[in-house]
Amino acid sequence: MRTEQLVSEARIKPWGVYASGKRWHAYRNGDGNVVVRHHATDMVEITPSGEVLPISRGYGSVSDKQGLNKVFRYERAFVTVDGERVPATYGTVFG
């Protein structure tokens, strides 16, 4: 599976899904949000509406940034900054 498809697939598969040699994992939590994990680090939650909730910035590696940016673009995810919806990127989520 392609990394960017993780969240969409996790929404329909309750056991979660893996991508990129099992380095990326996405699963639904008890709130109905999808948690995206890289290696052993839960990095973000994405709500059903597409809002991104940060959990951990990880190591800030290139693979952390590229993987999350792929997911955010594919999902059209957003963050709220000063009351406005802004497209989510690693930079807008973690500063």
For 17-65, the pLDDT digits (tens) are 999 999 999 999 999 999 999 999 999 999 999 999 999 999 999 999 9
Q: How confident is the model at residue 15 (pLDDT cuts 50, 70, 90)?
A: confident
H or E stretch covering 53:
strand 52-54
Distances (CA, A) of 57 to 17, 53, 86, 93: 21, 11, 18, 9
The count of domains in the chain is 1
β-bridge pairing 34-38 and 84-87: unpaired
Contact 12, 34 (CB under 8 A): no
Domain extent for 80: 3-94
The structure's pTM equals 0.94
